Amino acid sequence: MSAELVDATATVRSAFAERFGGQPEGLWAAPARVNLIGEHTDYNDGWVLPLAIDRRVTVAAARRSGGLLRLLSLQRGEQVLRLAAVRPGAMNGWAAYVAGAVWSLAQEGTQLDGLDLVLTSDVPVGSGLSSSAAVECATLLAARDLHGGPEDRARLALVAQRAENEVVGVPCGIMDQMAAMACTANHALLLDCRSLAAEHVPLALDAADLVLLVIDTRVAHALADSAYADRRRTCQEAARILGVPSLRDATDADVETARDRLGGVRYRRARHVARENARVLDVVELLRRGQPERIGPSLTASHASLRDDYQVSAPELDTAVEAALAAGALGARMTGAGFGGCALALLPAGAAEQVAEAVTATFAAREFGPPEIFPAHPMDGARRLA
């Protein structure tokens, strides 16, 4: 266990004893993620390639009777809820992610009398690193282990996604919950978002002397914002015009042929999705061949497409990408939903300091707030710790 994780487990254990009395029945953790490539493809039934990173939500939990959910977040405070009152449309704030996961498990047929739960998180909120999926997945795994429920990781990811879609009210795809549930160390997760078939693709960064830097612009994104729902709607319209079930089924050539019928905006959105799906498969091919140093151009092309065709970038993200490339990165792109949040840069290990300094200096020159820059190491998905 890393030092951070040992700290977090000791912290939730003692907070549990202090607040609820006695020992928790177990400890669980679920990681944050970055997406290597495959952006805005999950809700189009396409492919994504996320990896879990070394930031996580850690929970301590125990069953209780009496129909109550007693929640303590070490960052956000305390809430006591009646389980019977948790339902779509009735919740907001951080507790909705926890209560939503419990509600969603109950929809699977699991009987829950109540739960005491303490959680701590070192995932920045609103940075596009999926802090919400980490909360849902850590809670869900705890509730499932204590009260019973599905074993299958893909099923669990769907249960967590339902919490976010229905109780939190964010129309997200399946990528984040699958990443939190199913990633493994030293690998990226190739996920077919239609079948949920998953393949662990080696991402041996250290062996190739590479570093994947996360550049958190600290510009908060608002995922629940209308822009995300708007992109989803436009993609559905484009699929209908193309006569396919979803944009996963359209190639770049199909989109080109239908250019006039689609019209400007739908054409550009569809072109991004078709090309992005192809890029995911190209990157996977290079990784399977053990050539991670060659994926850079695909990452950078993905960024250009998200900026120009899908139009979900932000000046800070574009700056992070440009500055990283100018300072020696092999490839760089925004990651996550966009409109702020994080960028990724792949670089030779020896260039890490120079790239981080160049990005920070460029942010200062443009009068943006200072970014937070840290390396991403591919980690395991959600698991029980004790």
Tokens of 184: 């493994």
The residues in 336-375 that bind ligand GLA, with binding defined as CB under 6 A, are: 336-337
What's the closest the beta carbon of residue 77 comes to ligand GLA, in angstroms?
25
| Tokens standing for residue 324 | 């990283």
Q: Which stretch binds ligand GLA (CB under 6 A): 40-48, 288-296, 357-365, 377-385?
A: 40-48
Return the beta strands (E) in the chain as ranges. Answer: 26-35, 47-48, 50-63, 68-73, 77-82, 115-121, 187-192, 198-202, 210-216, 331-335, 342-348, 372-375, 383-384
CA angle in degrees (0–180, nearest 5) for 196-198-204: 150
Q: Identify which of residues 223 and 323 has a Cβ nearer to ligand GLA in the complex.
A: 223
CA distance 266 to 207: 42
Q: How far apart are CA 386 and CA 383, in angstroms?
A: 9
Minimum distance, C-beta of residue 176 to ligand GLA, in the bound complex (Å): 5
136 binding ligand GLA? (CB under 6 A):
no
- Residues 219-278 close enough to bind ligand GLA by CB under 6 A: 223
Q: Least distance from C-beta 251 to ligand GLA, angstroms?
A: 20
Q: Using the rule CB under 6 A, is 172 a contact of ligand GLA?
A: yes
Question: 32, 36, 42, 158: which one contacts ligand GLA (CB under 6 A)?
Answer: 42
358: left (phi over 0), alpha (psi -120 to 50) or beta: alpha
3-state secondary structure (DSSP) of residue 350: helix
Among candidates 3, 59, 33, which has minimal Cα distance to 182? 33
- Encoded one letter per residue, x for contact with ligand GLA by CB under 6 A and - for no contact, window 313-342 reads -----------------------xx-----
State the number of binding residues for ligand GLA (CB under 6 A). 11
Please tell me the number of Cα atoms within 13 Å of 316 on its side-chain side.
Answer: 24
d(CA 268, CA 306): 10
Q: Which residues are catalytic?
A: 176
Residue 309 binds to ligand GLA (criterion: CB under 6 A): no
Examine residue 168 and tell whether it contacts ligand GLA (CB under 6 A): no
- Of residues 20 and 97, the one with the C-beta less far from ligand GLA: 97
Of residues 176 and 322, the one with the C-beta less far from ligand GLA: 176
Q: How far is the CB of 314 from ligand GLA (least distance, A)?
A: 14
The smaller minimum CB distance to ligand GLA, of residues 118 and 172, is found at: 172
Q: Give the integer Cα–Cα distance in Å for 255 and 248.
A: 11
Helix (H) or strand (E) holding 162: helix 153-162
Residue with smaller CB distance to ligand GLA, 72 or 223:
223
Which residue lies nearer to ligand GLA by CB, 222 or 361? Answer: 222
Positions in the binding site for ligand GLA (CB under 6 A): 39-40, 42-43, 172-173, 175-176, 223, 336-337
